[in-house]
A and B are shown apart, each in its own frame.
Chain A
């Protein structure tokens, strides 16, 4: 029985699904045609024409998928699972973009899109490399597009389509109703943590990085396949640099997002998902160095080829880790499993086999030198540097892969209890070696160098570096730990070695400055990361609360959160911190935290600023999602986030109830006997008995002859406001009545209950509202010294890569003799 569902928009989904099939099909045709264009030695280029045409159709179809999906999310068609699961009506347009890639399908699309863009660039520019290189890239496109297919073949579901309907994706009784859409007024919305502008640009950058890693891989395979063993290195080098630069930028954006928007309390947490992105980056950085070594000396051919090949395999391994659900309980933020375990594994294995297969098949032909490198040669140390980077990468892989190890061998090993200590015990020594090598190898020439001249130069630099190190270690307070001092020295040494080259560059040799700028950036990055991570200090130490007094165990018992009551200043480090209230904008509640530095002797305020850490309150779930706010200085940051706040819903309900009954919501009244001119003290001020009005009237109650209505005029002097109020006492037909009056603003209510002529006193009852729950926040504040070195170092590194890309790209414009060589080979 088919139900005719009302209000569904099926066209965009059908169109989208058609584009998915078209993407898959055109990628397949293109890959096959490029393959035949490569292997068939024919004069007409018909295969190539078909391949190009299908590649263009592929690009068009990929854009079509994106447009259909965007249209669905943008129009709030919640009949589609993807729109329902990842967006909501209240989402602003720029976050619709980030909801686009919150799910796995969207991020696969992104990858596919970039691969299509790169394909078009390569069609224009790759010339003789086009057919073999694009055979590989199109094969990769076939695999990624198959992840979106969502079709069943022989009972096996292949891929997961973003165009699946909600009623097909989710089981539920409402889907038996034809008008079920009326019951789904809104989508689930975007994870609040992703509602950050960094999440709009971080994923596209990261995926451009991942996608562009396939290009050097494809060149390496093409080189082996076509037996153009030497040429591919030159052609692939700018692409490798491009991939390293873009992926590096993407990783740093993620790190900055974590720092700015998540309350992880840092910029790098060694989380498996973060590690997965850095693993291929490390190997490709290593690859770039040995590629340069090979180009200039003929050494390290195998290392260069192997590293380029393995880098892309590791990209696939990283996707497998984050997308297959295997990380399970070791990571906070991997994707949920979509049942693509085997599919992802196949993709990984196919490319692994291609890489290893070509290496083995061509092993005997590889131009591996039999000569030994000189110790005082640049190529030798480039090789050493690359190997150390590789080992550093192996260390990260080994620990990150613990869940994989468990899955293969059925063991139950848990990750190290102290993650930071575990990684740092290895990564700090590696960083020291790498940064020392990146320094002195600048003074080495290819082939050989005169050791005497080298040592003369280095001695000067070492003395200078030692001086700067001692000063810096003292200022930055890292001299307590020997490893930190050595790392600081290594980074400063690298700086001192590279800066002279930068100065040369500024004199006009811009072209050659890429490497030294990148190395300077790396040195700054290390310094910043070292100091910020090693000396970051929680400034919100709770000194007033109930403590255990066990200060020795820092990791466990440091009282790192502090409670602040509204308008009650608390001292924290050098700051006097006050919680000044909150305001709600949309879903976010911003807590205004005022920081003041006060000179202890003159009591003058030296500096004052406000921070607005925010929390999204979810009334239904009774939870908050907190985001920090940070005050940036040149040399340090003050980072603040709320750890706990009173939940809004509770207080709101409270207020509702108080309005119902007259005396409800007030404390037990106090009864006073007063005379004119008396004052009554209450919790927040005084009440003055001003006078009485014997001719008061009460609305709607006519007064008889013997009836008396007396109003008592009371003046309430609260903290900074005065109010007048006149409760009435009524004597009607011998019966006593009274009409109380309230001062809502002051939380008071008065009843004039009796007149006591014999005492010459008046009886007043004072009702007071209970002390309002004082507003409070629990917050954590961390000082990160020298963190700007980290960010600035990263930016410098990327600039260095960019300059190197320009330089290496020029080297592709082949010299005449090489063109001859190519012609000879092709004959």
Chain B
């Protein structure tokens, strides 16, 4: 057997290992209920509860940011993030959290936001309706 074929087989074996590791390392999407049951790090997708206050008071603690998120099952939970409030957070439509439950609070290690596109059609309409109303007055 050719040496390069042997090497090739070894490399393919490593590649398979790589792919298996990818899916072994991969996390899961879940809800707050799952997070509470499993007590492991996972991703929670949800929407920000805009009616409740965002707690970020840098004068007290610049590294404490808390808010309320409603997950896809409709369950609300307080989320705590050790860090500054991300820019644009108020505008976020959908939030993807990485983290785990500690007590009754979800401790997030990473926050990823989906903000509405500036070029969103709905928003364009709202803006324009206001515009014309002002002119007709």
Contacts and interface: CB of A to CB of B under 8 A. Distances in A.
A416 B26 contact: yes
A778 interface: yes
Contacts of B125: 171-173
Contacts of B41: 417-418
A547 B61 CA distance: 8
A174 B60 contact: no
Contacts of B109: 417, 555-556
Interface residues of A, number: 64
Contacts of A778: 58, 62, 84
A472 B38 CA distance: 44
Contact of B88 (A173, A395, A563, A623): A623
Contact of A644 (B15, B58, B94, B98): B58
A417 B43 contact: yes
A373 B128 contact: no
Nearest to B2: A372
A329 interface: yes
B104 interface: no
Contact of A395 (B22, B118, B124): B22
B55 interface: no
Given A329-B45, A391-B11, A563-B62, A399 B22 contact: yes
A393 to B, nearest CB: 10
B7 A546 contact: no
Nearest to A624: B87
A171 B117 contact: no
A124 to B, nearest CB: 39
Given A329-B96, A402-B22, A413-B28, A621 B91 contact: yes
Nearest to A299: B4
Interface string B71-108: 00000000000111101111100101010000000010
A825 B29 CA distance: 60
B33 interface: no
* Chain B contact residues: helix, strand, loop or mixed: mixed
A776 B18 contact: no
- Choose among A300, A329, A422, A555 the residue with the greatest number of B CB atoms under 10 Å from its CB: A329
Contacts of B52: none
Contacts of A624: 87
A281 B16 CA distance: 22
Contacts of A416: 22, 25-27
Nearest to B16: A394
A391 B13 CA distance: 10
Contact of B14 (A300, A391, A557): A391
Interface string A173-195: 11001000001000010010000
Contact of B23 (A170, A413, A555, A559): A413
B82 to A, nearest CB: 5
Contact of A387 (B11, B98, B110, B119): B11
Contact of B63 (A332, A383, A388, A545): A545
B131 A183 contact: yes
A556 B82 contact: yes
Contacts of B14: 391
A776 B84 CA distance: 14
Nearest to B22: A398
B112 A415 contact: no
A581 to B, nearest CB: 18
Contact of B28 (A188, A412, A622): A412
B26 A391 contact: no
Contact of A183 (B25, B62, B64, B132): B132
Given A391-B11, A556-B107, A623 B87 contact: yes
Interface in A158-180: 170-174, 177
B18 A780 contact: no
Contacts of B21: 425-426
A559 B82 contact: yes
A332 B94 CA distance: 12
- Choose among B3, B23, B87 the residue with the greatest number of A CB atoms under 10 Å from its CB: B87
B137 interface: no
* Chain A contact residues: helix, strand, loop or mixed: mixed
B56 interface: yes
Contact of B84 (A170, A372, A384, A561): A561
A380 B4 CA distance: 8
A258 to B, nearest CB: 15
A4 B84 CA distance: 52
Contacts, number: 159
Contact of A776 (B29, B59, B64, B119): B59
Interface string A618-647: 000111111000000000000000011000
A625 B118 CA distance: 15
A680 to B, nearest CB: 31
Nearest to B60: A546
Contacts of A93: none
A391 B128 contact: no
- Choose among A174, A390, A542 the residue with the greatest number of B CB atoms under 10 Å from its CB: A174
Given A329-B45, A643-B84, A173 B128 contact: yes
A387 B7 contact: yes
A572 interface: no
A413 B26 contact: yes
A372 B3 CA distance: 6
Given A426-B18, A623-B90, A559 B63 contact: yes
Contacts of A415: 26-27
B132 to A, nearest CB: 6
Nearest to A331: B112
A628 to B, nearest CB: 13
Contacts of B56: 644
B129 to A, nearest CB: 6
B50 interface: no
Contacts of B90: 621-623
A85 interface: yes
Given A387-B7, A546-B61, A174 B82 contact: no
A387 B124 contact: no
A731 to B, nearest CB: 49
A398 B24 CA distance: 12
B82 A558 contact: yes
A412 B112 CA distance: 17
A226 interface: no
B92 to A, nearest CB: 10
A776 B112 contact: no
Contacts of A622: 90
A223 to B, nearest CB: 21
Nearest to B122: A171
Contacts of B2: 372
A199 B132 CA distance: 36
Contacts of A463: none
Interface in A395-429: 395, 398-399, 402, 412-418, 422, 425-426
Contacts of A299: 4
- Choose among A394, A402, A558 the residue with the greatest number of B CB atoms under 10 Å from its CB: A394
Nearest to A545: B61
A85 B21 CA distance: 42
- Choose among B14, B62, B82, B119 the residue with the greatest number of A CB atoms under 10 Å from its CB: B62
8 tightest Cβ-Cβ pairs between the two chains A and B: A643-B84, A414-B27, A414-B43, A416-B25, A561-B62, A398-B22, A559-B63, A417-B27
Interface of B: 2-4, 7-8, 11, 14-15, 18-19, 21-23, 25-29, 41-43, 45, 56, 58-64, 82-85, 87-91, 94, 96, 98, 107, 109-110, 112, 114, 117-119, 121, 124-125, 128-129, 131-132, 135
24 contacts: A173-B128, A183-B135, A300-B4, A329-B94, A329-B112, A336-B119, A380-B3, A380-B4, A387-B7, A387-B11, A391-B15, A391-B18, A399-B22, A413-B27, A413-B28, A415-B26, A417-B43, A417-B109, A418-B41, A563-B62, A622-B90, A624-B87, A625-B88, A643-B84
Given A171-B125, A188-B119, A417-B109, 18 more contacts: A172-B124, A173-B132, A174-B128, A183-B132, A188-B118, A300-B4, A383-B7, A387-B7, A394-B18, A402-B26, A414-B26, A414-B27, A414-B29, A415-B26, A546-B60, A559-B61, A643-B84, A644-B62
